[in-house]
Amino acid sequence: MTRPLIQKGLTQAQHFFPPWLVLSLALATTIWVWQANVQQIRANARLHFEADIAAIEQTITDRFNIYENTLRGVLAFVLASREVERSEWQTYVETSAITSRHPGIQGIGYAVRVDGADLASHVRTVRQLENPTYDVYPSGDRAQYFPILFLEPGNARNQRALGFDMYSNPARRAAMERARDTGKASMSGVVTLVQETADDKQSGFLVYLPHYRSLASIATVADRRNSLAGFVYSPFRMGDLMQGIWGNNPPSLRFRVYDGDRVNEAHFMYDSHPSFPQTNKNSLSDTRTVERAGRLWTIQYQTTSQFRAENDLDDNALEVLVTGIVFSVLLFGITLSIANTRTRAV
């Protein structure tokens, strides 16, 4: 009697093995397809993420090229003039409509070189000819001064900057010396512009282009230092600059800009989406270092909820997973029903 019972048990086990095998294979296939879909979604999102980063950096680069060309146009005006007066500077900037055509520029200015021994006569001359209240600040004895002589448009913010010796500030001086020695446009590190007030305070920077007395004698660094007459320059406020580039339609990526070659909160400059959380389980992120006019910026990029929605990053292909599980269970039920029928027949 024992042997037939054993045979009967083996027969039933053999009949019920296929349904469980079908269920296991169906679930394994579902999980594999689901993971493949998730990976494909993230791969496509990564491609879009990289493309958006490239677009942001190219947009900023193109705008900086425009600003540099604008400064070169101003320098050409200075070189073509025997001696530029304040009224001529004002007329040139106004007729060129630089600040309106290229929003983001705080102004167009000129800083003149003044040797220490000539400071008193320089102040006296400017007061007599152009500005009775003009003075050079901060005070103190220095070998050289580079006070702001002209800065247009002549709004209240820019008027406060007239007479400021930019060479007295280390961040500005480093950029001025690099421009002087290379003959190229040079960007400063992050600074607080003297135009800033307590309202809407922003990080800023400046871009300098050297003006030499004689273009025929600037073959060497020593020649360029001796021939330096001053700087054509532009101050920038980071918030106004980015608003000028993108207006009210910022990119769908969040990017945070830091001055220097690494992320340093002490050198933070700008956040495109300050109200968004910095972390999300489905976010893509990257950090890039870019060079602008001899200065390094570190930019952190992160996807926003808008980007994740546009690229289905928050979806995770759950429809595929649920559909696969339901199909697996149905297939298991069908196979189990066939096995039961066969067992009863046997």
DSSP 114-145: EEGGGHHHHHHHHHHHT-TT---BS-S--SEE
* pLDDT tens string 90-117: 998 888 888 778 777 889 999 999 999 9
Residue 325, pLDDT > 70, answer no
The sign of the CA dihedral 53, 57, 60, 63 is: negative
Q: Which of 94, 91, 96, 101 has the alpha carbon at shortest distance from 66?
A: 101
Sequence-distant (≥ 6) Cβ neighbours of residue 133 within 8 angstroms? 127
Q: Count of H helices and E strands in the chain?
A: 10, 11
Q: With 0.75 as the threshold, say if the pTM is over it.
A: yes
Q: Residue 258 carries which side chain, given as an amino acid letter? A: Y
More confident residue, 329 or 231: 231
CA distance linking residue 130 with residue 134, whole number of Å: 8
Whether 24 has a pLDDT exceeding 60, the answer reads yes
What average pLDDT score do residues 314-319 get?
55
- Which of 32-41, 88-97, 181-190, 216-225 reaches the highest mean pLDDT? 181-190
* d(C-alpha 329, C-alpha 30), whole Å: 11
pLDDT of residue 1: 47
Which strand (E) or helix (H) includes residue 259?
strand 253-259
CB-based burial, 286-320: b 16+ in 10 Å, e otherwise: eeeeeebbbbebbbbbbbbbebbeebbbeebbeeb
Taking 50 as the threshold, does the pLDDT of residue 296 lie above it? yes
**Alpha-carbon separation of residue 200 from 49, 90, 193, 196, 240 (angstroms):** 31, 26, 12, 8, 10
Residue 10 has pLDDT above 50, yes or no: no
The predicted pLDDT at position 169 comes to 95
Q: pLDDT tens across 115-155, in order?
A: 999 999 999 999 998 888 899 999 999 999 999 999 998 88
